């Protein structure tokens, strides 16, 4: 082991040398810790990033399941809408047929009303002629 010497006073007392050696060891250990500190920081940051990525993946899975559920509901709703549209088209077709029949009946009623007017005039003319003849 090396002895520590003061250039003016000569060799330092053993206790001082021991204290300086201990200080050197402490400084060396501190330097080692400083060298490892960035690595530890990077590892902690990596662990945080992995934890956040895992949480994000879990959230993506949850949202994917929710999207699948909503997609299934929309598909069922679209099928229901299509069925109702078909029913509505059939009802509209029947309604149109009924409107045509009602239109035909109205024309028939108008023809009968016109005949009634003619018959009423003819009857009135016959009654008037009968009254004139008597």
Q: Is residue 126 part of a domain?
A: no
Q: Which residues contact 3 (CB under 8 A, 6 or more apart)?
A: 11, 12, 17
Indicate the average pLDDT of the chain: 86
What are 45-78's pLDDT values in tens digits?
A: 888 898 999 999 999 999 999 999 999 999 999 9
For 25, the domain range is: 15-94
Please report whether residue 119 resides in a domain: no
Residue 6 pLDDT class (50, 70, 90 cuts): low
Distance CA 118, CA 112 (A): 10
Instruction: Assess contact for 5 and 12: CB atoms under 8 A.
Output: yes
Domain count for the chain, please give it: 1
The fraction of the chain above a pLDDT of 70, given in percent, is 83
With contact defined as beta carbons under 8 Å apart, do 12 and 6 qualify? yes
End-to-end C-alpha distance for the chain, whole angstroms: 169
Residue 71 falls inside a structural domain? yes
* 67 inside domain: yes
Is 114 within the bounds of a domain? no
Q: Is residue 48 part of a domain?
A: yes
Q: What is the pLDDT of residue 129?
A: 86
17-51 pLDDT, tens digit per residue, is 788 778 877 877 777 767 666 666 778 888 889 89
Please give the structure tokens belonging to residue 29.
Answer: 């250990």
CA angle 57, 58, 60 (to 5 degrees): 60
Say what the pLDDT of residue 27 is: 76
CA diameter of the chain: 177
Q: Is residue 68 part of a domain?
A: yes
Return the pLDDT at 25.
Answer: 77
Amino acid 133: pLDDT: 77
| Residue 70, domain member (yes or no) | yes
């Amino acid at each position: 082991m090396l002895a520590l010497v003061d250039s003016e006073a000569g060799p330092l007392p053993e206790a001082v040398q021991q204290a300086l050696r201990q200080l050197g060891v402490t400084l060396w250990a501190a330097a080692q810790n400083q060298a490892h500190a960035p690595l530890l920081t990077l590892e902690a940051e990596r662990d945080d990033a992995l934890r956040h990525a895992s949480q994000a993946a879990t959230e993506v899975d949850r949202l994917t399941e929710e999207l699948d559920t909503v997609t299934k509901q929309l598909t069922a709703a679209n099928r229901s809408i299509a069925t109702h549209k078909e029913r509505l088209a059939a009802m509209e077709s029947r309604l149109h047929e009924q409107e045509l029949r009602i239109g035909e009946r109205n024309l028939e009623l108008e023809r009968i009303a016109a005949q009634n007017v003619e018959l009423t005039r003819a009857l009135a003319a016959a009654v008037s002629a009968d009254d004139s003849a008597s």
